Amino acid sequence: MKAADYLSEAKAIIGDRQEDYGHPTDTMQRTARLWEAYLEMPIAPHQVAVCMAMVKIARSMDSNKADNWIDAAGYVAIAAQTQEGDDLYV
């Protein structure tokens, strides 16, 4: 698969997940609040997406499944959008 294919698939997945779970920025904000309560330290929503991408990268060390790379690309895109404060839907 080419790089553009991974990105295209990630874009489609983000759109599909948004239909099921709502806007990704909202999810990152909710998750950040939960992590803050548990870790007792501030967490920015974009940091949640970066950490989720790192989980996918860690998984890729044991498995060369395409979905690890696709999901990581999606989380990085969500991190960038969230850090920019873009509240527009995907």
pLDDT(48) > 90 = yes
How many CA within 13 A on the CB side of residue 82? 24
Pairwise CA distance, residues 86 & 65, whole Å: 30
What six digits make up the tokens of 16? 């599909």
Helices (DSSP H) in the chain: which residue ranges?
3-21, 24-39, 45-60, 66-83
Single pTM value for the model:
0.87
The percent of residues above 90 in pLDDT, for the chain, comes to 74
Pairwise CA distance, residues 56 & 16, whole Å: 19
